[in-house]
């Protein structure tokens, strides 16, 4: 059985320094209309790492065990309590792909795309800032999620719509199986969040 | 033809190339629009001046496009007919017709400049704003249009930052948001979408 995905939730609004020369008081993450303050240090570092680190090849943190491995690699220690706190605060979510809990997560969360689309490169469609090198060349499924998922009120509806044929023919998302489409969508998230190509919010009223 | 003195707002989110000839796909809400290279050039100039010095006019686009005025006018008219450019006498009149969507990462502030909150992409800072404006930009997409975003955000700031007159007066906050649009849009910190058709309050 697969280990659950560990998904970061929320719109990052950065550190807040209370005054000149002072360390960050906290880091702001907005979820719905709420704001969550992440403690500077292990908590903020872990939440950032949970988005993925494309520069650490082979250790794209999509699960708790890969997050632990990446955290150890970059020297972030004492992760267990911080992960537990962030799961409770809703800024991290464990999603057992292929289970009813995955559908529940997808029905209660939605996608917001960031960045702009650039030229197609050898690794896929580039996304980033116009006039600058792409931050990442996305695989076809990730590019389709980036392009389309933001149009739908939640991830479950987005996956269902992709099944109905809005996805590019021949892509991994062009399937007739809603469960398979949702799994592909969820599996694409780390590729997108690792370069902050978007973020996941709660559906209004879902919290 | 688009009035030379009227203000322009370019709508849409650039999602990638359309073809090998410089065509570009721009999403207008749930509709992909293909722009030719010339249309894209004029659309991009209509996003605003990166230095944020005032709203963009058709005259500004003519002056910077390097194309004959008649050609720029024809391209602007075509973009306007497709909903990719809005024109009006001033930005306030256009605010109920657009929704502001932030597409950059929030970087917060720094110990060196605690009053300046930055949006950036990758390693490049794009726009620095006072905190109330930074937060209003972050949440603007939750409202059906920019005017309602200003009104709703001002109500929130009346509770969280009642001492900030700029933030708690809806008209002043809308004015500050509109002033920031050229810098926000031309740097791709944010884009404008058509006002949402859904009735009621924020998403």
* Residue A111, beta-bridge partner list: A200
8 A C-beta contact, residue B161 and residue A39: no
Q: Quick check: B157 pLDDT over 90? A: yes
Most B-contacting residue of A117, A119, A124 (CB-CB within 10 A), to test interface: A117
User: How many other C-beta atoms are found inside a 10 Å radius of the C-beta of residue A177?
Assistant: 10
pLDDT confidence tier of residue B199, bands split at 50, 70 and 90: very low
8 A C-beta contact, residue B30 and residue A151: yes
| Cα A89 to Cα A136: distance, rounded to the nearest angstrom | 30
> What is the distance, to the nearest Å, from the Cα of residue A3 to the centroid of all Cα atoms in its chain?
17
| Cα A35 to Cα B51: distance, rounded to the nearest angstrom | 31
Q: Count of A–B CB contacts within 8 Å?
A: 95
Please give the ipTM for the structure prediction.
0.91
Most A-contacting residue of B31, B111, B187 (CB-CB within 10 A), to test interface: B111
pLDDT top residue among B14 and B54:
B14
Give the minimum alpha-carbon distance from B58 to chain A in angstroms, rounded to a whole number.
Answer: 23
What pLDDT score does A77 carry? 86
Mean pLDDT of chain A: 89
Contacts B139 to A, Cβ<8 Å: 30
Cross-chain CB nearest to B124 (options A18, A125, A132): A132
pLDDT top residue among A76 and B190:
B190
Which of the 8 DSSP states describes residue A51? T
Cross-chain CB nearest to A21 (options B14, B27, B111): B111
Phi, psi (deg, nearest 5) at residue A137: -100, 120
* Interface contact B108-A27, CB threshold 8 A: yes
pLDDT confidence tier of residue A57, bands split at 50, 70 and 90: low
* Interface contact A16-B108, CB threshold 8 A: yes
- Average pLDDT score over residue span A115-129: 92
Share of chain A above pLDDT 90, in %: 64
Q: Quick check: A116 pLDDT over 90? A: yes
**Pairing mode of beta strands A5-8, A11-17:** unpaired
What pLDDT score does B192 carry? 97
Mean pLDDT of chain B: 91
| Cα B178 to Cα B190: distance, rounded to the nearest angstrom | 12
What pLDDT score does B202 carry? 46
Is any Cβ of chain B less than 8 angstroms from the Cβ of A72?
A: no
Which of the 8 DSSP states describes residue A63? B
Is any Cβ of chain B less than 8 angstroms from the Cβ of A17?
A: yes
Q: pLDDT tens digit string along B99-127?
A: 999 999 999 999 999 999 999 999 999 99
- Average pLDDT score over residue span A107-131: 93
Is any Cβ of chain B less than 8 angstroms from the Cβ of A135?
A: yes
* Residue B26, beta-bridge partner list: B14, B33
What pLDDT score does B201 carry? 42
Q: Quick check: B197 pLDDT over 90? A: no
Q: pLDDT tens digit string along B161-170?
A: 999 999 999 9
8 A C-beta contact, residue B184 and residue B51: no
Its sign, for the CA torsion A88, A91, A97, A100, is: positive
Q: What pTM did the predictor assign?
A: 0.93
* Interface contact A151-B30, CB threshold 8 A: yes
Classify each residue of A95-108 as buried b or exposed e, where b means 16 or more C-beta atoms within 10 Å of its C-beta. Answer: bebeeeebbebbeb
| Cα A197 to Cα A135: distance, rounded to the nearest angstrom | 9
């Amino acid at each position: 059985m697969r280990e659950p995905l560990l998904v970061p939730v929320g719109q990052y609004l950065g550190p807040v320094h209370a005054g000149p020369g002072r360390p960050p008081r906290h880091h702001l993450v907005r979820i719905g209309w709420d704001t969550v303050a992440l403690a500077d240090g292990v908590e903020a570092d872990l939440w950032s790492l949970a988005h993925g680190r494309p520069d650490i090849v082979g250790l794209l943190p999509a699960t708790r065990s890969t997050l632990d491995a990446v955290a150890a690699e970059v020297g972030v220690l004492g992760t267990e309590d911080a992960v537990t706190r962030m799961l409770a605060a809703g800024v991290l979510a464990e999603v057992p792909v292929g289970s009813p809990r995955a559908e529940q997560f997808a029905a209660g969360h939605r996608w917001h795309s960031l960045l702009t689309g650039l030229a197609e490169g050898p690794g896929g469609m580039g996304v980033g800032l116009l006039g600058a090198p792409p931050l990442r060349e996305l695989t076809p499924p990730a590019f389709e999620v980036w392009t389309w998922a933001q149009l739908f009120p939640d991830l479950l509806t987005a996956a269902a719509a992709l099944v109905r044929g809005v996805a590019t023919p021949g892509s991994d998302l062009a399937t007739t199986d809603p469960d398979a489409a949702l799994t592909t969508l969820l599996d694409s998230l780390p590729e997108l969040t690792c370069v902050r190509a978007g973020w996941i919010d709660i559906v209004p009223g879902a919290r | 033809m688009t009035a030379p003195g009227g203000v322009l707002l370019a709508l849409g989110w650039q999602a990638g190339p359309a073809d090998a000839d410089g065509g570009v796909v721009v999403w207008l809400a749930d509709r992909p629009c293909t722009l030719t290279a010339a249309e894209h050039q004029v659309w991009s100039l209509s996003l605003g001046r990166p230095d944020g010095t005032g709203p963009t006019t058709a005259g500004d686009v003519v002056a910077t496009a390097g194309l004959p005025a008649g050609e720029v006018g024809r391209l602007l008219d075509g973009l306007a007919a497709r909903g990719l450019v809005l024109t009006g006498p001033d930005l306030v009149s256009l605010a109920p017709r657009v929704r502001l969507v932030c597409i950059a990462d929030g970087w917060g502030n720094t110990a060196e400049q605690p009053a300046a909150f930055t949006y950036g992409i990758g390693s490049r800072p794009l726009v620095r704003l006072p905190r109330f404006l930074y937060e209003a930009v972050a949440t603007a997409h939750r409202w059906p249009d920019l005017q309602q975003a200003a009104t709703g955000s001002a109500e929130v700031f009346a509770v969280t930052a009642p001492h900030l007159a700029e933030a708690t007066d809806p008209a002043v906050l809308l004015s500050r948001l509109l002033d920031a649009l050229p810098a926000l849009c031309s740097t791709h910190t944010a884009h404008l979408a058509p006002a949402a058709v859904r009735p009621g309050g924020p998403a």
